[in-house]
A and B are shown apart, each in its own frame.
Chain A
């Protein structure tokens, strides 16, 4: 089933995607499927295991379900401190 998802990119991902946000209509089930979009559409080579994801401002897992209307936030490797 096609879902309307808002994808937000941060730091290096924003630079790679050339935008901080885009709306997409895609067949996705999980947050991991959305990460694949970054790879295929924008050519990111960052391994998934180094990155993090949040859905609607809550930290999530790559296996978390993505629902129609969700905002998925893709975080490259964090480097606070």
Chain B
């Protein structure tokens, strides 16, 4: 688990996971999109509390490795100011077969989104800005729990 102030380079991260025993590689990239809930977004700012984000991110990756028979797994999340189209988060998993790689990748990104102390502030075209709440909290009165898998 890494937190990066610099641009994520998926190809380099993928190369770090290369393994001759792997028959599958699955990755997820979260990108900055240009709108949210009807508002035009011009850039996004991530705040990360790194001591816990790294420590608990490692825990999530270890949980995924225990739940699914994968070879390698890694996650990188950006901090700081990001422009539209930039990669905000990357998850990569290798395994012998595809099913466990898909499942582990999904587990890691879902848990990262609901458990790690990371916040994002959207800057809008009209000049104002706002912190983004967890979409499920806002729409469903969802209460976070470390045992709940995100959907």
**Chain A residues near B (Cβ < 8 Å):** 10-12, 49-50, 52, 54, 57-59, 73, 75-81
Contact = CB atoms under 8 A, between A and B. Distances in A.
Contacts, number: 77
A77 B112 contact: no
Given A11-B121, A12-B119, A78 B114 contact: yes
Contact of A73 (B49, B141, B142): B49
B113 A81 contact: yes
Assign chain B's interface to a size class.
20 to 34
Contacts of B137: 50, 77
14 contacts: A10-B47, A11-B131, A12-B119, A52-B144, A57-B52, A73-B52, A75-B117, A77-B137, A78-B117, A79-B119, A79-B133, A80-B116, A80-B118, A81-B109
